[in-house]
């Protein structure tokens, strides 16, 4: 019997999805692939197959997907465009050569209501990968290949990325971003709940691939409520007891010049801070304000709200 693969399986979303998959499918049916496989020792003891591969080492991808029928491919961890797109394409091609028939791909909840364009740099590689999967699924060369794209909502826990790396332990009075804090906002999602819902969506395929309702489709998992960035800052202030925090709108150049940006937004030696600022234009365009019921329906409950998630995150830090 072909197995279900997850790559990379030890990151935030991957790790959460794996833990929920272990309660939904037999561990011996899982192939967990990571750059540091020792981080998956507990899963290995439960019966999962653990293999090593690295997006940045093409040779490790050549045979790592052998015996896998369906693969959950989690996006390369950066906001780059071309490097990230190529990494995804390389992994997808290797998976096809090894007989993978279905790929679940973790995209991101920019681009509004499943549109195919976005103002945000961080979404460009996702759009490329989504288009490539669709091309393959409609190619005569791959008649049995299918895919499911899962656009994962913006993590509540990732609020620092959208607030100039605001640090609740050392709060500033002014958050300087190229945005005034007004709507449209963001339908934030708890990362753990994304992992749970993603695992359930994947497990449904493993139980009956032929009747799977999401073949060659793009899904959008979002929170139940949209918050403006001004509301987000208000919540952060309330949690830490500092109610005078404000957003100051600055240019992309001024944002990128802040000392905390380059260390967090430099990839392969290139500072992408100014390019990252396109995310706020996308937010202003309403790309992240779409709400769908799919997360709630898949979980079988209301998703956790932003304030609850972030309060727990800050208080446990």
* Three-state SS at 315: helix
Closest CA to 258 of 123, 166, 154, 157: 166
Q: What is the pLDDT of residues 283-307, one digit of tens each?
A: 999 999 999 999 999 999 999 999 9
User: Mean pLDDT throughout 154-159?
Assistant: 98
**The two structure tokens encoding residue 42:** 């507990």
Domain boundaries, the chain: 3-153+189-221, 157-184+224-289+304-316
- Which CATH code of 3.40.50.720, 3.40.1360.10, 3.50.50.60, 3.30.420.40 fits the domain covering 3-153+189-221? 3.40.50.720
pLDDT band at 147 (very low <50, low <70, confident <90, very high): very high
pLDDT at 130 over 90: yes
218 in Cβ contact with 107 (< 8 Å): yes
Q: How far is Cα 214 from Cα 76, in angstroms, rounded to an integer?
A: 23
CB atoms within 10 A of CB 12: 16
292 in Cβ contact with 134 (< 8 Å): no
User: Mean pLDDT throughout 26-51?
Assistant: 96
Lowest-confidence segment of 125-129, 207-211, 226-230, 260-264 by average pLDDT: 207-211
Give the pLDDT confidence score for residue 253 in this predicted structure. 98
Distances from the Cα of 55 to the Cα of 60, 171, 270, 279, 309, angstroms? 8, 36, 18, 25, 31
Q: How many CA atoms lie within 13 A of 119 on its CB side?
A: 13
The mean pLDDT value of the chain amounts to 97
Q: How many CA atoms lie within 13 A of 148 on its CB side?
A: 23
* Three-state SS at 232: helix
157-184+224-289+304-316: CATH architecture: Alpha-Beta Complex (3.90)
**The two structure tokens encoding residue 278:** 């396109």
Q: What is the pLDDT of residues 176-219, one digit of tens each?
A: 999 999 999 999 999 999 999 999 999 999 988 989 999 999 99
Return the percentage of the chain with pLDDT > 90, whole number: 96
User: Mean pLDDT throughout 231-259?
Assistant: 97
CB atoms within 10 A of CB 45: 10
* Three-state SS at 106: strand
DSSP 183-213: SS-B--B-HHHHHHHHHHHHHHHHH-GGG-T
Quickly count helices (H) and strands (E) in the chain: 14, 11
Q: Are strands 266-267 and 270-271 parallel, antiparallel or unpaired?
A: antiparallel
Q: What is the pLDDT of residues 69-79, one digit of tens each?
A: 999 999 999 99
Name every residue whose Cβ is closer than 8 Å to that of residue 128 and which is 6 or more positions away in sequence. 81, 85, 88, 89
**Looking at the DSSP assignment, which residues form a beta bridge with residue 20?**
none
pLDDT at 267 over 90: yes
Distance separating the N- and C-terminal Cα atoms of the chain:
43
Closest CA to 175 of 262, 246, 239: 246
**The two structure tokens encoding residue 262:** 């380059």
**The two structure tokens encoding residue 249:** 């709108």
Distances from the Cα of 109 to the Cα of 37, 124, 155, 191, 291, angstroms? 29, 12, 10, 13, 10
308 in Cβ contact with 210 (< 8 Å): no
pLDDT at 1 over 70: no
Give the pLDDT confidence score for residue 95 in this predicted structure. 98
Name every residue whose Cβ is closer than 8 Å to that of residue 144 and which is 6 or more positions away in sequence. 101
């Amino acid at each position: 019997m072909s197995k279900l693969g997850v790559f990379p399986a030890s990151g935030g979303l991957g790790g959460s999805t794996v833990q929920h998959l272990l309660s939904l499918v037999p561990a011996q049916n899982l192939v967990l692939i990571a750059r540091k496989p020792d981080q998956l020792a507990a899963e290995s003891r439960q019966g999962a197959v653990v293999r090593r591969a690295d997006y940045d080492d093409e040779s490790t991808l050549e045979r790592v997907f052998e015996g896998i029928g369906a693969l959950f491919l989690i996006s390369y961890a950066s906001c780059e465009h071309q490097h990230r797109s190529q990494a995804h394409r390389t992994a997808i091609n290797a998976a096809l050569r090894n007989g993978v028939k279905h790929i679940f791909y973790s995209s991101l909840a920019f681009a509004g209501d499943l549109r195919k364009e976005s103002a945000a740099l961080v979404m460009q590689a996702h759009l490329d990968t989504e288009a490539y999967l669709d091309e393959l699924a409609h190619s005569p060369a791959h008649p049995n290949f299918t895919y499911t794209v899962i656009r994962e909502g913006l993590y509540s826990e990732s609020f620092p990325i959208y607030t100039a790396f605001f640090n609740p332990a050392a709060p500033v009075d002014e958050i300087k971003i190229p945005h005034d804090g007004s709507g449209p906002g963001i339908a934030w999602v708890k990362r753990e709940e994304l992992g749970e819902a993603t695992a359930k969506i994947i497990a449904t395929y493993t139980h009956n691939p032929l009747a799977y309702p999401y073949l060659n489709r793009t899904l959008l998992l979002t929170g139940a409520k949209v918050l403006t960035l001004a509301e987000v800052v208000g919540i952060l202030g309330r949690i830490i007891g500092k109610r005078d925090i404000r957003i100051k709108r600055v240019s992309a150049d001024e944002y990128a010049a802040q000392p905390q940006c380059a260390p967090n937004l430099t990839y392969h030696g290139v500072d992408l801070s100014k390019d990252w600022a396109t995310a706020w234009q996308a937010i202003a365009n309403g790309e992240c304000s779409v709400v769908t019921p799919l997360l709630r329906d898949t979980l079988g409950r209301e998703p956790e709200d932003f304030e609850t998630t972030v309060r727990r995150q800050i208080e446990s830090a």
